[in-house]
């Protein structure tokens, strides 16, 4: 009798835990056991700069507005992801601030249950005007792309003006964004004499610096690869001038950090080429036209826009997202097959 009681208690506990499991949201685990918890959301493929490694001058092949996901569609897709365990969303582009009414979208996404980290990548050219409203709407962290502090060089790299970017950065500081990370592409023969200056600039302003290796994405990225610089070498060089100790930075990204002793500065090294980090990849990318890219360096994708416009249900959307995840490849092949990705970074959502 006592034995029977124990058995029925165990069964009850098992059933209860099954019910609890069923109540847990489904999780996005890819075929390689990686948990996807991060979406990079491109809100436009347009940009007001023309960085030579990203978009060709005179490029006209932008997505037509009728194909852009509307804010309500973006909200539905991100809501579906959030229901599947995605908690981090980074708004990017193209240049996200050229998308009209961006703070309104930010507000919609910030209100979604489960989204607890909403960040933005920008070139900062329009940030002075928008920093406060973005902050109020719910953006918590900002990354700014900045490859040089020299106006002439900035014009050569991007075709634009440096002054508005610096104004935007200062406005972001005043608005209270923290951390503010500067993303600097390391380009041999172009800005490789500026790493130390950038470190000093970041120490002075309390920014975090991230150095990034050039990737052969699109014809522009492939051409720029002739300026590729192995960041292991850059780290050794910086160590000669600064006292670097191991550092840490929350954020879910692939950067490996060091800290400059005696300062708050952390320097992150993002090394997709010299030391790829695909084994810990936790992200997917949603392009402005509703294409879900499963890897920055491969063509695996799933088209969500037609389904959204055919009236797919929320549950159906989640099923489709889980199905799409089975397409996520193990890794990029930038080294083995540098010609593989034809689309420009601005199309995927860099």
Residues that bind ligand SAM (CB under 6 A): 47, 53-54, 92-93, 95, 121-123, 145, 183, 185, 212, 214-215, 217, 221, 224, 345-346, 350
**Min separation Cβ 87 and ligand SAM, Å:** 21
**Residue closer to ligand SAM (CB basis): 191 or 318:** 191
**Residue closer to ligand SAM (CB basis): 48 or 133:** 48
**Min separation Cβ 318 and ligand SAM, Å:** 27
**Residue closer to ligand SAM (CB basis): 54 or 118:** 54
**Min separation Cβ 174 and ligand SAM, Å:** 20
**Min separation Cβ 136 and ligand SAM, Å:** 21
**Residue closer to ligand SAM (CB basis): 191 or 214:** 214
**Residue closer to ligand SAM (CB basis): 46 or 328:** 46
346's CB contacts (< 8 A; 6+ apart) are 45, 46, 47, 54, 55, 93, 94
- How far apart, in whole angstroms, are the C-alpha atoms of residue 321 and residue 78? 11
Cα dihedral 244, 224, 198, 275, rounded to 10, equals: -20
- How far apart, in whole angstroms, are the C-alpha atoms of residue 187 and residue 193? 10
- How far apart, in whole angstroms, are the C-alpha atoms of residue 51 and residue 123? 10
Interaxial angle between packed helices 102-110 and 71-83, expressed in degrees from 0 to 180 and rounded to the nearest 10: 30
**Residue closer to ligand SAM (CB basis): 238 or 296:** 296
**Min separation Cβ 337 and ligand SAM, Å:** 15
**Min separation Cβ 240 and ligand SAM, Å:** 25
């Amino acid at each position: 009798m006592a034995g029977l009681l124990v058995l029925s208690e165990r069964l009850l506990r098992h059933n209860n835990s099954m019910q609890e499991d069923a109540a847990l949201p489904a999780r996005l685990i890819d075929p390689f056991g990686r948990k996807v918890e991060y979406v990079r959301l491109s809100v436009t493929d347009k940009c007001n700069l023309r960085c030579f490694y990203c978009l060709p001058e005179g490029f006209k092949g932008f997505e037509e507005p009728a194909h852009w996901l509307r804010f309500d569609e973006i909200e539905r897709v991100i809501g579906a992801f959030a229901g599947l365990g995605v908690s981090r969303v980074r708004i990017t582009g193209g240049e996200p601030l050229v998308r009209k009414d961006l703070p309104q979208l930010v507000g919609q996404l910030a209100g979604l249950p489960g989204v607890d980290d909403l960040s933005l990548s920008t070139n900062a050219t329009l940030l002075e005007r928008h920093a406060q409203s973005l902050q109020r709407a719910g953006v918590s962290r900002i990354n700014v792309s900045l490859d040089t502090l020299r106006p002439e060089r900035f014009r050569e790299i991007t075709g634009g003006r440096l002054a508005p970017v610096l104004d935007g950065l200062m406005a972001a500081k005043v608005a209270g964004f923290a951390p503010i990370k500067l993303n600097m592409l390391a380009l041999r023969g172009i800005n490789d004499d500026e790493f130390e200056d950038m470190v000093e600039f970041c120490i002075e302003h309390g920014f975090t610096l991230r150095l990034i290796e050039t990737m052969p994405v699109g014809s522009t990225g492939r051409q720029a690869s002739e300026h590729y610089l192995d960041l292991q070498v850059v780290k050794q060089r910086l160590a000669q001038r600064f006292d670097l100790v191991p550092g840490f930075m929350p954020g879910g990204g692939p950067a490996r950090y060091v800290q400059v002793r005696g300062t708050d500065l952390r320097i992150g090294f993002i090394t997709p080429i010299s030391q790829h980090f695909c084994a810990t990849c936790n992200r997917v990318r949603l392009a402005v036209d509703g294409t879900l890219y499963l890897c920055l360096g491969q063509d695996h994708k799933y088209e969500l826009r037609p389904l959204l416009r055919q009236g797919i249900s929320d549950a159906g959307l989640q099923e489709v997202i889980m199905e799409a995840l089975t397409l996520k490849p193990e890794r990029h092949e930038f080294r083995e097959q540098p010609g593989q990705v034809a689309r420009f970074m601005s199309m995927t959502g860099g």
